[in-house]
Chain A
Amino acid sequence: AQRVTQPEKLLSVFKGAPVELKCNYSYSGSPELFWYVQYSRQRLQLLLRHISRESIKGFTADLNKGETSFHLKKPFAQEEDSAMYYCALPQGAQKLVFGQGTRLTINP
């Protein structure tokens, strides 16, 4: 079965420092992967999907099939990036499997 692993429950970096949130997956085939984000007192929302190869709020994520990873990166962290981040992978044709999440805290 498909699985998503986010090894870090908590990550704390200083403002302006680079950020990398790790995500590893198990999947046979070519996966489509997603990052969802939940800011304080807000709903869970889609941040980005790898298939669109876009940068959202300065974040990018590259799919590395060799390492089965989809790490989320941002070169210069901002305080408003503090949130819970979830990596997600489709299971079957209709639903997503989420990782446990990483709580990112940006220190001023």
Chain B
Amino acid sequence: DTGVSQDPRHKITKRGQNVTFRCDPISEHNRLYWYRQTLGQGPEFLTYFQNEAQLEKSRLLSDRFSAERPKGSFSTLEIQRTEQGDSAMYLCASSLDTGYPNYGYTFGSGTRLTVV
């Protein structure tokens, strides 16, 4: 287990196309988070999963965005009808729920999306 893996590392797409990103968390981590980071900003929360359940979604996550974690392992983030404003680094992170909030996230390297 080499940590949190994200695929692809880079994605260039034309406006209006759909894209899907994948995140493989640390295997024993039951919490998985998606964040978005634009240039000059810190990471912004998008959504998180506890096992396969999506427990919270940010207002930033419009109807064009959907995330899944079907078996409580890997997760996908899909953006439909991409817009130039979607260009950003999409970060995935995972953590272990110990019964006490654990904010010691392990981040992946991110997927950099460029919409042209």
Q: A residues near B, CB below 8 A? A: 4, 6, 9, 32, 34, 43-46, 49, 86, 88, 90-101
Contact = CB atoms under 8 A, between A and B. Distances in A.
A4 B42 CA distance: 10
B103 A44 contact: no
Contact of B33 (A91, A92, A95): A95
A96 B48 CA distance: 11
Interface of B: 3-4, 31, 33, 40-45, 48, 50, 55-56, 91, 101, 103-110
B103 A9 contact: no
A99 B42 contact: yes
Contacts of A95: 33, 45, 48, 56
Nearest to A45: B107
Nearest to B58: A95
A34 B107 CA distance: 15
A23 to B, nearest CB: 11
Contacts of B103: 32, 34, 49, 88, 90, 96
Interface centre among A4, A46, A95, A96 (most CB of B within 10 A): A95
Contacts of B55: 94
Contacts of A34: 103
Contacts of A92: 56
Contact of A46 (B105, B108, B110): B105
Contacts of B41: 100-101
B104 A96 contact: no
Given A44-B91, A92-B56, A98 B105 contact: no
Contact of A98 (B3, B43, B106): B43
Nearest to B31: A94
Contact of A43 (B33, B40, B101, B107): B107
B34 to A, nearest CB: 10
